[in-house]
Amino acid sequence: MSDLEGKVAWITGAGSGIGLAGAQALAAAGVTVVMSGRRADVLRTEAAAIIAAGGKAEVEKLDVTDAEAATRVANAILARHGKVDILVNSAGMNIPNRFWKNVSTAGWTDVLRINLDGSFFCIAAILPSMRERKDGLIINISSWAGKFDTYMTGPAYNAAKHAVVAMTAHLNHEECVNGIRACALCPAEVSTPIMEKRPIPPSAEERAKMLQPDDLGRTIRFIAEMPAHTCINELIISPTWNRIFIGAV
């Protein structure tokens, strides 16, 4: 495993869930984490907690669906640190009315814009600097629904997360010659706030059996700690008790 001390990571969706857990795990490994999301107050609170625990954390408010804003944030980080070693695209969402019988055009667009376009905008903003340095790791948070046709997540989310996996594969196709590696991290159910958007939110007992945010934080750190000559192209992770296998909705 490599030493992450002194590296810089930009993490979207860092105010809660997988993004926050990734920021905490990387900061504990000595990474300076730049936390992005739409809720600056939440980000500041979580960044302060990381700093209080001895880590290094900064905040850059960002709506990932705004391509120009993504470029501004990327440029601001590069101006301060001169590099971004790790990009974690964790901003994501789903909607309650997610099935063909009730999904709206607006709902479809929101899911695609945040889960897919947002990742693309941040990658496009930081990729030239990674090419110049011949080094960089991009971790795109996809989903179990990005690898398998899962009913419970609906067509928009499935389409977006499948596309994230394909986009990640193309990064490795094109950028491996530039020392850049990308991983599509595909978790099954994780007990995060997105569960509250389910048509039938899972119970506390069910959520306790799911993957927990810290599990994904540890996974993100594991991927980041692999040496630069290795690439984990995809990583699929699920809870042992997998509700998807038993037809939950």
By annotation, the residues acting in catalysis are: 157
Q: In the numeric block, which tokens belong to residue 207? A: 């959520």
CA pair distance 15, 85, nearest whole angstrom: 20
Name the residue type at position 71.
Answer: T
Ordered DSSP codes for 193-205? GGGGGSSSPPPHH
Cβ-contact 37, 66 below 8 angstroms: no
Partners of residue 59 on adjacent β-strands:
35
Q: In the numeric block, which tokens belong to residue 33? A: 């984490």
Name the DSSP letter for residue 162.
Answer: H
Handedness of CA 68, 69, 73, 79 (dihedral sign): positive
